[in-house]
Amino acid sequence: MTGLTALPTSTLADRALLLLASGPQGAEVLTRDVFGMARAPGAVAERLAVALLGPDPRVRRLPDGRWGIVTQAAGSPLIEDVAFAIVDVETTGSRLGGADRITEVAVVIVQGNRCEVVFESLVNPERPIPPMVTAVTRITDAMVRVAPTFDEVADRLVDALAGRVFVAHNLRFDWQFLTTELKRSRALGLEGQRLCTVRLGRQLVPGLPSYGLDSLSIYFDLENPARHRAGGDALATGRLLQRLLGLAREAGARTIADLERMQLKRRKKRRGRRRKSAPESSI
């Protein structure tokens, strides 16, 4: 599966497929993220993965022991054949689970030389915006009071994402906020491949002191006159993605799977230092 799809979510199998949509995963990762067992012994993780995924025709075991969605295991589309949906959200804060909500969302499509905003909207979070957040984003309570709620923009947003690879700068933040809102408003979960420009940047432009959006924009000489607004940041991330894809091709990447392996390789190298390092930043 390459493009994003919105599907009902509820079962453990659904959660496993959503995780595998980002690329093949080992039993320990599946056990941690699907079953919530962070320290399961390897043998236990293997048995749980086999019991959950073994009978599922949508999934198969790869030669290296990981599990992957059948279409991903069979092959991967060329980078030039794929449309990327670059997403940025602004929020009332960083707490998930309903404590904080989206105040603005934008989607930019990148395909070849195309880099275009296809969706952008303020969103009424149905709660006050903290003053320190307003100071950064310049989004005020008065602005969102007359804006549509997330429920009112959800269908158009899903349409903008459908069939495209999800991309964000600090992927986890935007992905989790968006999927939380979709689950709340539509009982839908996004399924499909996704890429993080922070992780790609670390792999393709080693040695920078920071991989925040400002730092990478300076490195590539990219302008962003609407910083900390969803449209401006999504457009800047789209242009950044185009530069990173060029470097990835020079490094030998030809398919989406190649890009995913770049991210996975870099993540493995950093795993031993993860507990001591700060979270990935999009700032």
Please give the positions annotated as active site: 228
Encoded amino acid at 155, one letter: D
Classify the phi-psi angles of 233: left when phi > 0, otherwise alpha if psi is within -120 to 50, otherwise beta: alpha
Would the CA dihedral through 79, 157, 191, 28 be positive or negative?
positive
Helices (H), 83-163: 131-137, 141-145, 150-161
Q: Determine contact, residues 197/262, Cβ cutoff 8 Å.
A: no
- How many CB atoms sit inside 10 A of residue 187's CB? 11
Which tokens in the block code for residue 166?
A: 């999800």
